[in-house]
């Protein structure tokens, strides 16, 4: 996770703690909304991702759910809209490096609205 968090801090300017929280929120969202086998393969390919998901999942539900729900959680974590897009794009790019284009493409394609952020 350190490599991803370092990239997020460098590319988006968010604080490290916010970047760590955002990764957990986004991965927990993908696990909830995407094809579980593909998302689990992605999480397995990213060392430390399980712990990030566990931390984010322990903070309660997404409220309204879907892309709006994850956006609300990311805003509550301290991200603005531009930062949300930057963090999501960088996380997806990192995921493609770790799990491959096919796996990530299937995940993104299966979640309505996610494509606009990547």
pLDDT in tens, 7-29: 999 999 999 999 999 999 999 99
Q: Estimate the crossing angle of helix 36-45 against helix 81-99, to 10 degrees.
A: 80
pLDDT of amino acid 68: 85
CB 24 within 8 A of CB 52: yes
pLDDT in tens, 44-96: 999 999 999 998 876 655 456 788 888 899 999 999 999 999 999 999 999 99
CB 87 within 8 A of CB 12: yes
DSSP class per residue in 66-101: HHHHHHHHHHHTT--HHHHHHHHHHHHHHHHHHH-H
């Amino acid at each position: 996770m350190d490599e991803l968090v370092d990239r997020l801090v460098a590319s988006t300017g968010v604080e490290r703690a916010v970047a760590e929280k955002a990764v957990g929120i986004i991965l927990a969202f993908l696990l909830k909304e995407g094809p579980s086998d593909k998302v689990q393969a992605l999480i397995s390919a990213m060392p430390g991702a399980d712990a990030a998901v566990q931390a984010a999942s322990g903070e309660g539900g997404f409220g309204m759910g879907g892309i709006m729900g994850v956006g609300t959680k990311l805003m509550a974590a301290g991200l603005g809209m531009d930062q949300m897009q930057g963090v999501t794009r960088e996380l997806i790019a990192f995921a493609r490096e770790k799990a491959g284009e096919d796996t990530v493409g299937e995940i993104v394609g299966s979640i309505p609205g996610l494509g606009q952020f990547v």
